[in-house]
Chains A and B, each alone.
Chain A
């Protein structure tokens, strides 16, 4: 389960609206609650570095991730997931999303942005521990 506040939920959806018709992307920081849920306590907007095809691809500069991780450590936060948008496509993971997902045990949140307006938002946990057997499994989003 992914647990996050209304303001964070609204912010990641708003980001997808702002970057439409291009994909937005960002990082979810927080901790894992005792019940195993990933609790988001802050989000970090990132720049989509895929300037060649930003309408259907995203990539976060790992250098930006190093900075976000460092700032998170200073607040006792860990990376618990990521988000991105699918402009005019469903809020479902694609083969590309699965192939490029490597953060096991983290949440991958996808917001469908239809004609510039955020529609469905879904979250998937990357399960497994090996590249050959990984899966993106739907998980509940609890907005608190």
Chain B
């Protein structure tokens, strides 16, 4: 079993749990297990085409799965998977020049 850590904004879709334990041999299987258990979460993680949303980062322990084997990255018992929506912003381009 791997543990998926849920960020605060998404906990309302997983019965307010900070983490959920799921089965799965890959990151993708674990995430699909998560949204199968908690279907209201699906649209917040995946597009209608079934791809992870661009602003959703997935980490296996301390590694970004984009730089591993993406959703096919192997998961072992005791691994920690983190769902991390991106944090960015700044003054607008229009006002930045003025």
| B96 nearest CB neighbor, chain A only | A56
The answer, yes or no, to whether B85 is at the interface (CB within 8 Å) is yes
How many residues on A have C-beta within 8 angstroms of the other chain's C-beta atoms? 42
B residues near A (Cβ < 8 Å) are 5, 7-9, 12, 18, 55, 57, 59, 62, 64, 82, 84-93, 95-96
| B56 nearest CB neighbor, chain A only | A102
Given contacts A80-B8, A105-B9, contact A25 B87 (CB under 8 A): yes
- The answer to whether A97 and B89 have CB atoms under 8 Å apart is yes
Given contacts A62-B84, A66-B62, A89-B95, contact A97 B18 (CB under 8 A): no
Beyond A57-B90, A102-B9, 4 extra complex contacts between A and B, CB < 8 Å: A66-B82, A96-B90, A103-B9, A106-B9
Given contacts A60-B87, A65-B84, contact A78 B92 (CB under 8 A): no
Q: Which residues of A contact B62 (CB under 8 A)?
A: 63, 66-67
- The answer to whether B87 and A82 have CB atoms under 8 Å apart is yes
Label chain B's interface by main secondary structure: mixed
- The answer to whether A69 and B9 have CB atoms under 8 Å apart is no
The answer, yes or no, to whether A73 is at the interface (CB within 8 Å) is yes
- The answer to whether A103 and B90 have CB atoms under 8 Å apart is no
Q: Which residues of A contact B57 (CB under 8 A)?
A: 62
- The answer to whether B9 and A94 have CB atoms under 8 Å apart is no
Q: Which residues of A contact B55 (CB under 8 A)?
A: 100, 102
- The answer to whether A57 and B9 have CB atoms under 8 Å apart is no
A-B contact pairs, 21 of them (CB 8 A): A23-B90, A23-B91, A50-B90, A57-B88, A58-B88, A58-B90, A59-B87, A62-B59, A63-B64, A69-B82, A73-B18, A79-B7, A86-B91, A89-B96, A94-B90, A95-B92, A96-B90, A96-B93, A100-B87, A102-B9, A102-B85
- The answer to whether A105 and B89 have CB atoms under 8 Å apart is no
A residues near B (Cβ < 8 Å) are 23, 25, 27, 50, 53, 55-60, 62-63, 65-67, 69, 73, 78-80, 82, 84, 86-87, 89, 93-97, 99-106, 108, 126, 129
